[in-house]
Amino acid sequence: MGILDAIQTGLSELLSHKMRSILTMLGVIFGVSAVIAMVSIGEGAKQEALDQIKQMGIDVVHVKRMNIAGELLEEAQSRSPFGLRYADADSLTSICTFAKRIIPLRQVFAKIKTGDKPATGKVIGTVPDYDLVTRSKLATGRFLREADMKANAQVCILGATVKRDLFGFDDPLGKTVTIESRLFRVVGVMEPKEVGSAKASSAMLDINSDVYIPLTVAMDGFQIFSGQAIPANSATIRQMIGEMQARHSRDKIGISEIIVQVESAEATIQAAGVIRSILNRSHQGIRDFEIIIPAELLRQQQQLQHTFSIVLAAIASISLLVGGIGIMNIMLATVTQRTREIGVRRCIGATRWDIVRQFMLEALVITCVGGLIGVAVGLGGAQAISVYAGWRTVVSSQAIIVSFGVSAFIGIIFGMYPAIRAAMVDPIEALRYS
């Protein structure tokens, strides 16, 4: 019997016992589909995290303001009372010759509205090169200019979400937006940036809701954002802020973040060490700032997700193992049922190798058919998870190939013992079997 004849015999055996064949393939179907679906979820989560980290830029170092509380507060107030300051950005600019750009940011408390229509967003004071460092693009208009900084111009650039909330489909250029009782003229609108699924976006603030104003304006009369709201309509508080800022030079005014762009992702680790050393000295050892290196986060996330994908695949592979055991059990039962057939074939000239090959191919046909069905179910399951659960899934061709290949390998391995068992049947005894 040739290979094609053995395959045809295997398919005929499947069709003649449909229910038994389906039950035999269930383990393989569930195993393959589980591997594909779970690896797709893992790959989707990995891609989601990587996209979010890449949005921060992998050639930059972020220095973020930290609020001191508890026992360290009194010491911090005496040794580093202003926290992260504008002077820190100046120091880094003069010392860090390796930096391509240094961008200070100041997020402030402010309500945003136009007329009676409010919008939810963050008001961020920054400098002209911010869009270059963050690789943000303008949909229309322009970004901040040096002239805006020098003139303390009350101009703003709207994120895509804020623009939609305030102006809908209208062109906002040249129109005014009220930011904490001040009128700002809209000079630009940013292109929308993809921030991933809703669940991922809750962990990462939606940059499409940002409103950008000149840093010099944000440092004049606005309260820096520290996570606790203040009464936006309180003239007394605004007056106190103005008096405090008048007493101190601009260098001592607090800022929210400093972004340092360097030549490459590989240079960020060394740059972070230099930045930490400079700030530790100027802040007298008070850790009222934190340094975030997106390139390092990217490497850690890649390693974590790789491990996570392996664990998911290993868990799902248990179903394939169970399916293989089921195939072996069914094939052993088949050997018993077909003992007389085996005896007849041996008597008319079939060798033991012919019997082994026939049963091995039948087991292989079962697992391959089950594997194909499992691939289809896995692809459908991954799509259903994406649609109904809102999770990002990325179907990997490698997962499909590996899971299908493993299912075929299981057919060979677990079909081997029943095939050998069938080949070892004595022809004379087999003919007596009824």
Span 221-230, pLDDT tens digits: 888 886 654 4
210 and 247 share one domain = yes
319 and 259 share one domain = no
Distance CA 87, CA 255 (A): 9
Determine what percent of the chain is predicted with pLDDT higher than 90. Answer: 26
How many Cα atoms sit within 13 Å of 95 on the Cβ side? 15
Q: State which of 287, 312, 327 marks the end of a domain.
A: 287
Global pTM?
Answer: 0.66
Top mean pLDDT of 168-172, 252-256, 410-414 is at 168-172
7 and 81 share one domain = no
45 CB-near residues (< 8 Å, 6+ apart): 305, 308, 391, 392
Distance CA 177, CA 188 (A): 12
Q: How far is CA 314 from CA 73, 173, 308, 373, in A?
A: 49, 55, 10, 20
Distance CA 409, CA 237 (A): 73
Does residue 292 fall inside a structural domain? no
Please give the pLDDT value at position 183: 94
Does residue 59 fall inside a structural domain? no
322 and 275 share one domain = no
Please give the pLDDT value at position 403: 81
The per-residue DSSP string of 37-51 comes to HHHHHHHHHHHHHHH
At position 54, the amino acid (one-letter code) is K
Task: Provide the number of structural domains found in the chain.
Answer: 2
Please give the pLDDT value at position 231: 46
Q: State which of 287, 320, 353 marks the end of a domain.
A: 287
* Contact predicate 394/40, CB 8 Å: yes
Q: Kind and range of the H or E element at 112?
A: strand 112-114
Residue 64 bridge partners (DSSP): 257, 290
Does residue 57 fall inside a structural domain? no
Please give the pLDDT value at position 242: 52
145 and 227 share one domain = yes
Domain, as residue range, for 318: 3-52+300-432
Burial of 194 (0-12, 13-18, 19+ CB in 10 A): exposed
Please give the pLDDT value at position 410: 80
86 and 169 share one domain = yes
196-202 — which CB contacts under 8 Å span 24+ positions? 196/48, 196/51, 196/52, 196/392, 197/48, 197/390, 197/391, 197/392, 198/390, 199/390, 199/391, 200/48, 200/49, 200/52, 200/392
Q: State which of 252, 287, 322 marks the end of a domain.
A: 287
* Antiparallel, parallel or unpaired: β 257-261 and 155-158: unpaired
SS3 of residue 129 by DSSP: coil
16 and 85 share one domain = no
pLDDT tens profile 61-78 = 999 988 776 667 667 666
The residue written with tokens 């491990």 in the block is 307
Please give the pLDDT value at position 339: 77
Please give the pLDDT value at position 239: 47
154 and 118 share one domain = yes
Judged against a pLDDT cut of 80, whether residue 20 lies above it is answered with no
Judged against a pLDDT cut of 60, whether residue 237 lies above it is answered with no
pLDDT higher for 27 or 94? 94
Q: Which two tokens stand for residue 135?
A: 């690789």
Q: Which two tokens stand for residue 297?
A: 């986060």
pLDDT tens profile 153-183 = 999 999 999 999 999 989 999 999 999 889 9
At position 48, the amino acid (one-letter code) is E
pLDDT higher for 114 or 345? 114
pLDDT band for 34, please (50, 70, 90 cuts).
confident
280 and 308 share one domain = no
pLDDT band for 10, please (50, 70, 90 cuts).
low
Per-residue pLDDT averaged across 232-259, rounded?
Answer: 62
Please give the pLDDT value at position 1: 54
Distance CA 403, CA 291 (A): 42
Per-residue pLDDT averaged across 249-270, rounded?
Answer: 85
320 and 418 share one domain = yes
Per-residue pLDDT averaged across 31-52, rounded?
Answer: 81
Judged against a pLDDT cut of 80, whether residue 143 lies above it is answered with yes
Judged against a pLDDT cut of 90, whether residue 124 lies above it is answered with yes
Judged against a pLDDT cut of 70, whether residue 107 lies above it is answered with yes
pLDDT band for 428, please (50, 70, 90 cuts).
confident
Does residue 58 fall inside a structural domain? no
Please give the pLDDT value at position 158: 96
200 and 80 share one domain = yes
C-alpha of 89 from chain center: 31
**Phi and psi of 20, rounded to 5°?**
-60, -40
* Antiparallel, parallel or unpaired: β 117-119 and 289-292: unpaired
79 and 207 share one domain = yes
Picking from 181-195, 213-227, 348-362, which range would have the lowest pLDDT averaged per residue?
A: 348-362
